[in-house]
Amino acid sequence: MPAKTPSPPLLEVRNLCVSFASRGQMIPIVENVSFSIGGEEILGLVGESGSGKSVTAMALMGLIDAPGVRITGSARFKGYDLLAMPPKQLRKLRGQEIAMIFQDPMTAFTPVYTIGWQIDEQLRVHQRLSRKQARARTMDLLGEMGVPDPANTANRYPHQLSGGLRQRAMIAMALSCNPSLLIADEPTTALDVTVQAQILDLMRNLRKTYGSSVLLITHDMGVVAETCDNTLVLYSGRVAETGTTQALFAHPQHPYTAALLASIPPMSGPRPDRLPAIPGGPPLPVERPAGCAFAPRCVYTHASCLPAPPPAFYTVAPHHEVACVLPKEGTPLPARFTTPTTPVL
Ligand SMILES: Nc1ncnc2c1ncn2[C@@H]1O[C@H](COP(=O)(O)OP(=O)(O)OP(=O)(O)O)[C@@H](O)[C@H]1O
């Protein structure tokens, strides 16, 4: 029997670079970021504040509107290169195939119209539904998102809803176009733990009910663990490590990934008084060192880390790659990950 040909990824990003012009020079913010997302996959894009997660997503969506921005690389989505598409065509794709949700739903809704009117409008414009059909679908969508009493909620203005309900309504609006890809930028950061768990549940279910894939942007490794099939760790605009979530959590190979994991409270057993935190902060883009950007904070740094970033990714196992020289040198990393950080909390 002939071997089954693997289906091409839904989104394949190669060598994405984004630079902003500042004071006469180009500042690289995102450098050579590559990843792919398959059908019904949830990929977590994780990293500290300022690591370039949002810039990556906004560049893919054609939503960076800064004078002098330079975006290079390719981002193939269903046969289109998102980075080379004319803005009008990309806008259409955003309405029909790719949707985005944000940490603050107020940015997605206009304050002067009801939630229901705004979702109806999306359906009328992008799905060409009649007023009546649109309202019926809006009710369905709100119901599917776990909104109690959808008719009542639809008639409310955004500021009249709780944060959790607003987030559900925003996801309903995003799903109104039946997107193949949902980009969710910190969708649970502003919510309390219980609502957060419900929203993450919703994300996981999107795969089954809508066949959607999700690019989930977060700084929270706990959210990644609960939700994502695969994970990409970004540090200072560069990929530090990528692999299945299971492999990354079981055998982190980059000291940064390991340090992020060390800072998650344990699920069971006694809770430490203080959680370890990574000393210092990521470099400002203008001050990024010549070598590995994590070197100034890394307890394993040695001479070869300083002149230039690792020349290539080291493949630890199939689909598990790391931008660090230590695993290649055979350093027994996991065993040494017990004390890479400084307790500060
Ligand atoms: N329009 C812009 N012009 C210049 N620099 C920018 C612009 N937008 C973002 N940046 C810079 O790009 C870097 C990455 O920002 P980004 O918002 O992508 O980080 P992030 O990882 O999403 O962080 P957070 O979790 O805080 O949102 C930051 O240093 C930010 O100041």
Q: What is the pLDDT of residue 235?
A: 96
- Give the residue, by CA position, lying nearest to ligand 1 atom 26: 49
70 CA to middle of ligand 1, Å? 14
User: Average pLDDT of the chain?
Assistant: 87
pLDDT at residue 207 above 90? no
pLDDT at 144: 86
pLDDT at 64 over 90: yes
Listed ranges 7-11, 19-23, 135-139, 282-286; the one with the highest mean pLDDT = 135-139
Residue 226 lies in a domain: no
> Which strand (E) or helix (H) includes residue 244?
strand 238-244
| 149 part of a folded domain | no
d(CA 172, CA 140): 9
Ligand 1 atom having least distance to the Cα of 58: 18
State in Å: Cα 335 to ligand 1 middle: 34
Q: What is the pLDDT of residue 336?
A: 38
Q: Which two tokens stand for residue 330?
A: 């055979």
Residue of 54, 70, 71 to mutate, ligand 1, most atoms within 8 A of C-beta: 54
| Atom in ligand 1 nearest the alpha carbon of residue 56 | 18
CB of 268 within 6 A of ligand 1: the answer is no
* pLDDT per position as a tens digit, 160-194: 999 889 988 998 998 888 899 999 998 888 777 88
Q: pLDDT value at position 270?
A: 66
Range of the domain at 335: 243-266+274-345
In a domain, 345, yes or no: yes
How many domains in the chain?
1
pLDDT of residue 6: 60
**Burial group, residue 203, by CB count within 10 angstroms (0-12, 13-18, 19+):** buried
Instruction: Judge whether 292 lies within some domain.
Output: yes
Is the ipTM, as predicted for this complex, more than 0.95?
Answer: yes
Quick one: pLDDT at residue 228? Answer: 95
**pLDDT > 90? residue 199:** no
Model pLDDT, residue 333: 55
SS3 266: coil
Q: In 10 A of CB 215, how many CB atoms?
A: 26
Distance 67 CA to ligand 1 centre (A): 15
Work out the average pLDDT over 109-125. Answer: 94
Q: How far apart are CA 131 and CA 269, in angstroms?
A: 55
Decide: 285 in ligand 1 pocket, CB within 6 A. Answer: yes
Ligand 1: does its nearest atom lie under 6 Å from the Cβ of 139? no
Q: How far apart are CA 53 and CA 45, in angstroms?
A: 7
Does the residue 73 lie in any domain?
no
323 inside domain: yes
Residues 6+ apart with CB under 8 A from 75: 11, 12, 13, 14, 16, 60, 81, 82, 83
288-342 per-position pLDDT tens digit: 999 999 999 998 888 888 988 888 899 989 989 999 988 777 665 544 344 344 4
pLDDT score of 345: 27
Residue 343 has pLDDT above 50, yes or no: no
Predicted pLDDT at 338: 41
User: Given the CA of residue 284, which atom of ligand 1 is nearest to it?
Assistant: 29
Please tell me the predicted confidence (pLDDT) of residue 2: 53
Determine the residue type at 94: R
Residue 24, domain member (yes or no): no
282 Cβ inside 6 Å of ligand 1: no
DSSP-derived 3-state class of residue 126: helix
Q: Tell me if 238 CB under 6 Å of ligand 1.
A: no
Residue with CA nearest ligand 1 atom 31: 50
Q: What is the pLDDT of residues 251-279, one digit of tens each?
A: 999 999 999 998 777 666 666 666 667 77
In a domain, 307, yes or no: yes
Average pLDDT over residues 154-158: 96
For ligand 1, whether the C-beta of 218 sits within 6 Å is no
Q: For residue 116, how many other CB atoms are within 10 A of its CB?
A: 22
* pLDDT cut 90: percent of the chain above it: 54
More confident residue, 95 or 226: 226
